[in-house]
Amino acid sequence: MPRPIQATISLDSLRHNLARARSAAGGARVWAVVKANAYGHGVERVFPALRGADGFALLDLAEAETLRALGWGGPILLLEGCFGLEDLATCERLNLWHVVHDPAQIHWLASRRKPRAHRVFLKLNSGMNRLGFTPEQYRVAWQRLQELPAVGAVSHMTHFATADCEPGIGEALERFESAVDGLPGERSLCNSAALLRYGVQEPARREDPSAVLGDWVRPGIALYGGSPTGAHADAQRWELRPTMNLLTRIIGVQQVEAGALVGYGATFRAERPMRIGVAAVGYADGYPRHAPTGTPIVVDGVRTRLVGRVSMDMVMVDLDPVRAAGRAADIGSPVLCWGRHLDSELGIDEVAEPSGTLGYELMCALARRVPVQVV
């Protein structure tokens, strides 16, 4: 019997979340962000559910190649643009649109000859200070692109540093609007957080959302049912559905006395006699190693907690609440690490939060050794 761990990707949930993103986007077109192998889900696996998007955004040229091989003929956007001059030939061959965020990328474009072969998104650094031209450099870069024969349409783009938290997007949006003021071209601003917090669905929003929505929105995490804010309650409020579950089983049971120490480093001490279950999941599967005692986990449909340290291939769980609910809590009992299974739901952000991380990191870190099933 294979080790009883399994991840499941739900195409229905992906479709549902894409529809949620679309309704928040008003009439704007939707890039499905599938970078990092579709946030750990697998580009090939999510493609049938996300092909209803208007385009795919990613940053790895191999993933763009995969989408073309799957038959996707629509827009593909390279979010970090080209990494070197040679990538421009790949963009021409695969018809990839690409971000221009640095003068070097403009310099490379100047050497291409095929007329209007490159559709580019010029990126403004609106305050995050990661990628993009400053507001002072922006118009010069735009003008330079206009003069290059190999460049076709130039669109405008920025990325928000604080769409998911305070102080929000106000100042960055102002910088963007003044930088692109009067310039022709499509606009793209929103990640999931901006789309959900400032899009058309948000009841708290009073102003017209069209400025922030622009022509294209770029949701990533929302498509995968994670919360861009890290708070599971937000994912629920936006009616996002988990698209990945991680399911395993109890493979061992220990009945321990009060005072017994559990796991590496003896970090957990039983306060009373306890039934401890050993579940077949560990950090080598992508379960966060820093998950502390108390991290929620579901056994036999009953919410309980992790106890002691996460090891490479196993975690220990408290089976007493499961027994108290009248379940067997024995070898073979199903264990839901995150996601949705039967009547149980455990938000990936609920698991990530006690470890000081986000659902993003957990889904991206799903290990290769975990078998994945698509439903």
Which positions lie near ligand PLP, rule CB under 6 A? Answer: 33, 35, 79, 159, 191-193, 218-222, 228
Cis, bond preceding 103 (omega within 30 deg of 0): no
| Residues recognised as catalytic | 35, 264
In the complex, the smallest distance separating the C-beta of residue 191 from ligand PLP, rounded to whole angstroms, is: 4
In the complex, the smallest distance separating the C-beta of residue 202 from ligand PLP, rounded to whole angstroms, is: 15
Would you list the DSSP string of 188-240?
E---HHHHHHHSTT-TT--S-THHHH-SEE---GGGGT--TTS-HHHHHHTT-
In the complex, the smallest distance separating the C-beta of residue 21 from ligand PLP, rounded to whole angstroms, is: 9
Enumerate helices (H) and strands (E) in the chain, giving the number of each. 14, 19
Burial 276-289 (b: 16+ CB within 10 A, else e): bbbbbbbbebbbbe
- Nearest CB to ligand PLP, comparing residues 15 and 35: 35
In the complex, the smallest distance separating the C-beta of residue 68 from ligand PLP, rounded to whole angstroms, is: 21
Q: How far apart are CA 83 and CA 36, in angstroms?
A: 16
- Nearest CB to ligand PLP, comparing residues 195 and 262: 195
- Nearest CB to ligand PLP, comparing residues 119 and 218: 218
Tokens of 336: 């839901």
Tokens of 316: 């220990």
In the complex, the smallest distance separating the C-beta of residue 284 from ligand PLP, rounded to whole angstroms, is: 25
Tokens of 273: 């006699």
- Nearest CB to ligand PLP, comparing residues 112 and 159: 159
Q: How far apart are CA 135 and CA 149, in angstroms?
A: 24
Task: Find the residue with minimal CB distance to ligand PLP.
Answer: 220
Q: Looking at the chain, how many residues does it have?
A: 375
Beta carbons of 192 and 24 less than 8 angstroms apart: no
- Nearest CB to ligand PLP, comparing residues 217 and 251: 217
Nearest to 157 by CA among 110, 125, 134: 125
Q: 27 to each of 54, 95, 209, 211, how far by Cα in Å?
A: 12, 25, 11, 12
Beta carbons of 220 and 35 less than 8 angstroms apart: yes
What is the three-class DSSP state of 132? Answer: coil
- Nearest CB to ligand PLP, comparing residues 222 and 247: 222
Q: How far apart are CA 130 and CA 117, in angstroms?
A: 27
User: What distance lies between CA 82 and its chain's CA centroid?
Assistant: 22
Q: 255 to each of 261, 278, 293, 324, how far by Cα in Å?
A: 12, 11, 18, 15
In the complex, the smallest distance separating the C-beta of residue 7 from ligand PLP, rounded to whole angstroms, is: 19
In the complex, the smallest distance separating the C-beta of residue 219 from ligand PLP, rounded to whole angstroms, is: 5
- Nearest CB to ligand PLP, comparing residues 216 and 283: 216
